Chain A
Amino acid sequence: GQQVMQIPQYQHVQEGEDFTTYCNSSTTLSNIQWYKQRPGGHPVFLIQLVKSGEVKKQKRLTFQFGEAKKNSSLHITATQTTDVGTYFCAGQAAGNKLTFGGGTRVLVKP
């Protein structure tokens, strides 16, 4: 079945630094979604990418969808303590199901 891998599993970042988390699917996707889960909370939708090569920005977050629609990345610039949490990518191929990656847990050092 479809698999979605995310790396790294953990990311320790100094406040103010940039980092990137990567997502790779075993199959071509129709769309990819990103979610953020704060500690003790539930996943919250951030963004959806649909087109090959698409790039979207939300303030300090930049999301990219690969040309082959099998990979994606999330880049955060000037990390803040409010960025703490786990970021999940979720890919949708044919069918109704989203397949979630294992998540990147982000810890920020002040």
Chain B
Amino acid sequence: DAGITQSPRYKITETGRQVTLMCHQTWSHSYMFWYRQDLGHGLRLIYYSAAADITDKGEVPDGYVVSRSKTENFPLTLESATRSQTSVYFCASRTGYNQPQHFGDGTRLSIL
């Protein structure tokens, strides 16, 4: 969907480095989410946000940090990247409870 964009699309970095994945949505959706997708694990929730300045942990939050100072942006930071964080990361947003989620195109992150 053109309304939610992720950057970069591809990223290669080294263990121990800090990396930030960006997510921007133009719909003014209240809720935003970060998932990682690994073979055999489906989509696992890392963090989510119900509104600006409100964030909460998901299923696999360790090693990640998020912030949401503005409604439209929800960056995800890996403070000290590890090889186990090599994955495809998807950002998603939705308007409210019981509403469908709209996903970005994903960021393919490789950590060497």
Contacts and interface: CB of A to CB of B under 8 A. Distances in A.
Nearest to B58: A97
Interface residues of B, number: 25
B103 interface: yes
B48 A96 contact: yes
Interface string A16-38: 00000000000000110101000
Given A100-B43, A102-B41, A102-B42, A50 B101 contact: no
Interface string B11-46: 000000000000000000001010100001111110
Given A97-B58, A100-B42, A48 B100 contact: yes
A85 interface: no
B42 A103 contact: yes
A45 B102 contact: yes
A42 B42 contact: no
Interface of A: 1, 6, 30-31, 33, 35, 41-45, 48, 50, 88, 90, 92, 96-103
